[in-house]
A and B are shown apart, each in its own frame.
Chain A
Amino acid sequence: MIAGRLRRGAVFGILCLVVVVMLFPFVYMAIVSFRSQDQFISGEGFSLDSWAALFDTLPVAQQLVNSMVVTVAAVVIILAVSSMAGYAFAKLRFPGSALIFILILAGMMIPVQSIIIPEFVNIAQVGLINQYPGAIAVYAALGTPLGTYLMTTYFRGVPTELVEASLVDGASYWQIFRKVMLPLAVPALVTIAVLQFIQIWDDLLIGLLFLQTPEVRTITVGVATLQSARVIPIPLVIAGSLVSAMPAVVVYLAFQRQLISGLTLGMGK
Chain B
Amino acid sequence: MSDMAAVRPANPGARRAVPKNTGRLRRAEQRAGLLFVLPVVVVYTVLLALPIAQTFWYSLTEWNGITSTFLGLDNYRRLFNDPTFWRVVLNNVMLLAAIPFAILIPLLVAFLLNQKVYGWRFFRSVYFLPTAISWVVIGIVAARLFAARGFLNGLFAALGLDIRTDMLASEYTAMLAVIITFIWSVFGTNTIIFITGMATLDRDVYEAARVDGAGAWQVFRYLTIPLLTRFIQFAFILTLITGFTALFSLIFVMTTGGPGFGTTTLEFYVYQTAFANGAFGYAAAIGVVLFAIVFTISIIQLRLLRGRGE
Contacts and interface: CB of A to CB of B under 8 A. Distances in A.
Interface stretch (B166-174, B185-193, B218-226): B185-193
A166 to B, nearest CB: 10
A92 B32 contact: yes
A260 B192 contact: yes
B30 A94 contact: yes
Contact of A224 (B145, B249, B298): B249
Interface string A56-89: 0000000000000000000001001110110111
Contact of A141 (B44, B249, B256): B44
Given A115-B55, A167-B18, A227-B253, A97 B11 contact: yes
Nearest to A164: B18
Given A97-B11, A122-B51, A202-B136, A22 B33 contact: no
A177 interface: yes
Contact of A201 (B127, B134, B141): B134
Contacts of A8: 115, 117
Interface in B202-244: 216, 231, 234, 244
Interface residues of B, number: 103
B48 A145 contact: yes
A217 B123 CA distance: 35
A114 B52 contact: yes
Given A81-B43, A241-B137, A109 B295 contact: yes
B262 to A, nearest CB: 17
Q: Does more than half of chain B's interface fall in helix, strand or loop, or is it mixed?
A: helix
Given A224-B253, A249-B129, A88 B37 contact: yes
B44 to A, nearest CB: 6
Given A205-B248, A260-B192, A260-B196, 14 more contacts: A15-B123, A28-B151, A91-B15, A97-B13, A100-B41, A102-B1, A102-B5, A103-B49, A121-B54, A204-B252, A220-B136, A253-B125, A260-B128, A267-B231
In order of increasing CB-CB distance, the 10 nearest A-B pairs are A94-B33, A97-B13, A202-B134, A141-B47, A252-B132, A118-B54, A88-B36, A92-B33, A173-B32, A204-B249
16 contacts: A18-B123, A88-B34, A97-B13, A98-B12, A100-B41, A117-B270, A118-B284, A160-B17, A174-B32, A204-B136, A223-B140, A224-B252, A248-B132, A249-B132, A252-B129, A256-B125
Interface of B: 1, 4-5, 8, 11-18, 26, 28-34, 36-37, 39-41, 43-44, 46-52, 54-55, 58, 65, 109, 112-113, 115, 117-118, 123, 125-145, 151, 184, 187-189, 192-193, 196, 216, 231, 234, 244-245, 248-249, 252-253, 256, 266-267, 270-271, 274-275, 280, 283-284, 287-288, 290-291, 294-295, 298-299, 305, 310
